[in-house]
Amino acid sequence: MCVAEGRTALFTRPGFLAAAAAAAAPLAAGVMGVEAAAADAVVPRVALPAAGAPLSRGNAAAASLARGSSLVIATYSRVEALIASLTDRELRTNMLELVRSPHPLYADRHPSPAARAGVRDALARGGFVAAGAPVRGIFPPGTEPESSTRVQPFWSAPGSGEGSHHDYPGGLAVHESFNATVAEGIASAYDRHYFGGRPTIARDTVIAAALYHDVMKTVVFGWNDDGTVFDELQIAGTGGHHVLSAAEAIVRGHDPRFITTLLSAHAAPSLGDEAQVVAWCRAAAIVANVDPVAYGLVKRDGSAYALAADPVPLEAFVHHLSDHDYVISVHAMHVVAARLQQRWSRLRGLAELAPTFAWYRAMILTRTTALALYDTLARNGADAFDRTVVRVESQLAPLRV
């Protein structure tokens, strides 16, 4: 997920983090080094899909960094392996299409500038965005029918906005594969503890929801030429990618209960937070150009709305619990980015490696995650951190944008 300033999670207790660490152990084993050489022992590697052409200069530079990273290749391979493990053939096919070619079909429903402005206005009337919100926050560059460039590939997208968790090429794949692995582990734990080991929590649903709910970050967080990413519009009080990913799932014909599960990532549909999920359902329906009641997302409750899924499926809660990688990763990113910034400011020669600090940071973190560097710093100190960074720098060729 993306975390707005001041946002706190409903579930951040140590018990959850311990469960997450246990569930994600296979992933961590593959990505904690400077490169992900050990990942071959986890899943077979697959070739990165074609990027599509043409890309903007910023997206092309990010794709170049991602293609040169064993970490990105190994992590993307893990994503495909998770999708291949889904037993629902239709869901599996849809998910593979989405990560191999993340063209936003929701945008195709509104091809003209007038239609796109109309979506913004409808969201504003619902109180989901400000009246003057930029249309490009809903339909970012690369989504226009006449655009000379395409949106970036899934495998080169960052996992969040500028300076937040997984802000590097390939970060989205790391974030999503981690969350999907955690979701699988949590579902298994619930099956063992509450259902006598009988498979009850739908594994396909929680894995697919974890992979799906951030997928429009490929569109929302395109790369600027200077190595920063696009600003994100807040929709219905949360990062726009959340609502847009749900809109994409609606356009692709997914079941309304799956949409509800997907939209429960940022707030569990309980303990007073149901209204947030309802708002996201309604906003996503506007973007997808469907009636949220007719589609089965919400129902009328007097003058208000309530979730149509009553009771809400357990998978929605599992999905919410699994979307807490940010609890650690945002902190790690802030600490590591600050140290990299100090290094960039101190060593003028690094400008020969990358044209801006943002690109330098991306080059380092595409080869070794912020969490790995944070752990090195926390366990072994600043000297070990610097040695690791120097080793990564020695493997890099100058970036031309």
Residue recorded with tokens 């560097």: 373
Same domain, residue pair 228 and 358: no
Q: Is residue 84 part of a domain?
A: yes
Please list, in sequence order, all residues whose beta carbon lies within 8 angstroms of the beta carbon of residue 13, skipping any fewer than 6 positions away: none
Q: Is residue 399 part of a domain?
A: no
User: What values do phi and psi take at 145, rounded to 5?
Assistant: -55, -35
Same domain, residue pair 208 and 70: yes
SS3 string of the chain? CCCCCCCCCCCCCHHHHHHHHHHCHHHHHHHCCCCCHHHHHCCCCCCCCCCCCCCCHHHHHHHHHHHCCHHHHHHHHHHHHHHHCCCCHHHHHHHHHHHHCCCCHHHHCCCCHHHHHHHHHHHHHCCCCCCCCCHHHCCCCCCCCCCCCCCCCHHHCCCCCCCCCCCCCCHHHHHHHHHHHHHHHHHHHHHHHHCCCCCCCCHHHHHHHHHHCCCCHHHHCCECCCCCECCCCEECCEEHHHHHHHHHHHHCCCCHHHHHHHCCCCCCCCCCCHHHHHHHHHHHHHHHCCCHHHHCCEEEECCEEEECCCCCCHHHHHHHHHCCCHHHHHHHHHHHHHHHHHHHHHCHHHHHCCCCHHHHHHHHHCCCCHHHHHHHHHHHCHHHHHHHHHHHHHCCCCCCC
Q: Is residue 3 part of a domain?
A: no
Q: Is residue 400 part of a domain?
A: no
Q: Is residue 356 part of a domain?
A: yes
Same domain, residue pair 342 and 235: no
* C-alpha to C-alpha distance for 234 and 239, rounded to whole angstroms: 5
Same domain, residue pair 346 and 201: no
Number of separate domains in the chain: 2
pLDDT at 16: 42
Range of the domain at 253: 14-327
Last residue of a domain, one of 327, 348, 379: 327
Last residue of a domain, one of 327, 353, 383: 327
364 close to 392: Cβ distance less than 8 angstroms: yes
Please list, in sequence order, all residues whose beta carbon lies within 8 angstroms of the beta carbon of residue 12, skipping any fewer than 6 positions away: 324, 327
Same domain, residue pair 130 and 270: yes
pLDDT at 163: 86
Same domain, residue pair 388 and 287: no
Same domain, residue pair 372 and 234: no
The stretches in the chain having pLDDT less than 50 are 4-41
382 close to 370: Cβ distance less than 8 angstroms: no
Sign of CA dihedral 108, 109, 111, 117: negative
Same domain, residue pair 162 and 304: yes
This prediction's pTM? 0.88
pLDDT at 194: 97
Tokens of 34: 């400077």
Q: Is residue 323 part of a domain?
A: yes
Same domain, residue pair 212 and 101: yes
Same domain, residue pair 252 and 383: no
Q: Is residue 87 part of a domain?
A: yes
Same domain, residue pair 33 and 146: yes
Q: Is residue 8 part of a domain?
A: no
* C-alpha to C-alpha distance for 116 and 119, rounded to whole angstroms: 5
Last residue of a domain, one of 272, 295, 327: 327
* C-alpha to C-alpha distance for 51 and 153, rounded to whole angstroms: 5
Same domain, residue pair 358 and 300: no
